[in-house]
Structure 1
Amino acid sequence: MESTELNWRLLAKRQWPLALSLTAIALAETGAIDTGLGWWQLPGVVVICAIAVLAPRRPFDAALALAFAVACVAVYMRFLGVSIAPHLFWSGANISMTGAAMATIATLVREESRARSVIGTLLVLAAMTVAEVLGWPIVSAVEYREWSPDALNFSIAGCVLLVLSVGSGLYFRARDAERASQLAASVAAAQNSERMALARELHDVVAHYVTAIVVHAQAGQMNRDAAEQVLPTIEASGYEALTAMRRLVGTLRDGESSGPAASSSLVDDVRSLAAESGLPVRLSFDLQDAVPQELARSVLRLVQESLTNTQKHASAVSSVDVGLSSSDGVLRLAVADDGVASGVPVGGSGGYGLVGMRERVELLGGRFSAGRREPTGWTVRAELPLA
């Protein structure tokens, strides 16, 4: 099963309680099997439980697969003349199979559309019904000749379990929708904050170049002899204004708050960020070219986000190496730590840190990479054109 929404690591974090519960129940049921061929139910139970655990990857496909697996288990157990043990209802399902079916229905209702949820749920219920129908003759004829099932009580119990499954799915669906709404509101607020910061930068940076163009143009009009001398200056100022405008537009992105203000010295600003972070930062600088103020501001945001990620996601950090260098018109940034992943990030995480850094670098025409380093730690690298 493939999905771009939930990778295997997130799946493991989300589904390990269900996997552990189903495993414990299946092991307990195995000890209750006292028929000669009762162990034939184990492969089917394992497959059914595995499908339930993997259901968030492709919920509707998982419901189809689980229904098919339940039906297959019922058919081959009927063929062998052996009943499922221990029984949860009349004859065709045990606790682990029923729990897997409930979990799959809950996931289906949570993740899929209404139509697909109804279809998938009906198919799972149909498969469970088939299992009961195929299993009852074996139980009545072989194991419990004197026992008569209470159809009403079993039906009520089945309806209660169905309501619990669907209700759980609807609850988590509503909670997901609320979380998405809160996230959208946070992104909108961050966008507004960033636009205000960009308005100030437009006034302080781009307006400076435009003012220089106007002043030199006026000087050229007043003194025709000096016109040729000021034209190169006007051209250079216009180029700088266009470059600054492109970089400011490149900083527009979803959900990012405004970063630190850049001074005239990128080195001093990075040192200040390192000191404020409280991390054991080791700095390395080899800047052979002048860094425009707008680009320096973006670099500061990258450094700040990298140090923030280290604080939130890593523990036992003994060193953080921050390196800045430039050559051949390219500014290179590297931030590497030796920490160990701490699991749940401090203060939670919206999951936009790396996405935001990648968007910023790519919008500025650069290249970005991030990943684990051996034996421990994390590395962030960025290459940005200076022109």
Structure 2
Amino acid sequence: MRVREWRAGTAADVGLGAAAAAVLAFYVYRVGASWGGAYGVFGCAAGAAVCALALARRRNRLRAAVVGLVVAAVAIVVARVARLPAEPGPGVTLGLSVLVGSAVRVLPPRPACAVAGGGLVVVAGAFAVSPQAVVGVLSATGWAGAVAAGLWPRLLAARRRAVEERVRRAERLELARELHDVVAHHVTCVVLQAQTARLLAGKRPERLATSLADIEAAGSDALAATRRVVGLLRDPARGLPALERLDELVRRFGGHGPDVRLRLPDGEDASLWPPEVTTTVYRIVQESLTNVSRHASQARSVTVTVARSGESVTVEVADDAPPVPARRRGRTGYGLVGMRERVEALGGTLRAGPRPGAGWSVLADLPVPARERP
């Protein structure tokens, strides 16, 4: 990549040098034909100096631009005082355009704006002291083209960086959600099983072996889920939770928690839904059941309902735990934030809060594109 950039820069400098030589030769010829040969020497020298600075601009772009602007300003004053052909001539304009455009494109905002402002001052000086309007127009055109040529790629680069940052942030959030959903759910299962084993060790030691086996199974499930997350990170098309796995999730939860009733849409082929919708439905149910284990230990039953209505899919997880004053505060962790981010990323809505009378409900509405309908 560096070799390619070096070659491109060298080719651009060779082209600039050839263009500068042609412009200066044409300038000397035209001035010699109308004013006389000696009158073009100063303008040719000033143009050659500014073009040389343009060729050496990569060493220090700011210094080269500032010196070029000073040379152009001095040339304007000297030409006016000595009654020489008006400046800046074509050579100075060419070199100054390269210097201004390069500074605007590469330098930090403040120096870039200062160089562009200095170029505008030179243009104003050309209009103020030159009796020939064509010189001022040429200088203004060169300055405007230089600013546009430098500003456009700068804006494109800034936009590209902003897009890359949004993509990286989205990837980080997706990774955080996946790790939270998997780790929080399965570690909660392990903790609950360990608490059960501790109680059984003192009261019913004969069942301790069964409880330890359950802990081992929960740990294996956590390891398998972590591997699925790694597979998903390597290949997004793999490891996506299918809606059919809700039965397995409900059975696993019901083995150490309140009774769970699962209601799925009848006669609906969920495999035709977009994978991001089925994944989000699964994660909402998973995180909601995890929250029930953490914050609603007194719940006796949980109802999980997945329904299709028109162009949307609705998923609700509701429990019947008695009201607890601090319960609302206990459910403001990253799980609810992750669920809301998932739902809003698909253009849906999510509501979570206490139910009338008792219990807690998580209700999400997800749009399904018409082309995905069975």
Q: TM-score band (shorter)?
A: 0.3 to 0.5
TM-score w.r.t. length of structure 1: 0.37
TM-score w.r.t. length of structure 2: 0.39
Which structure: larger Rg? 2
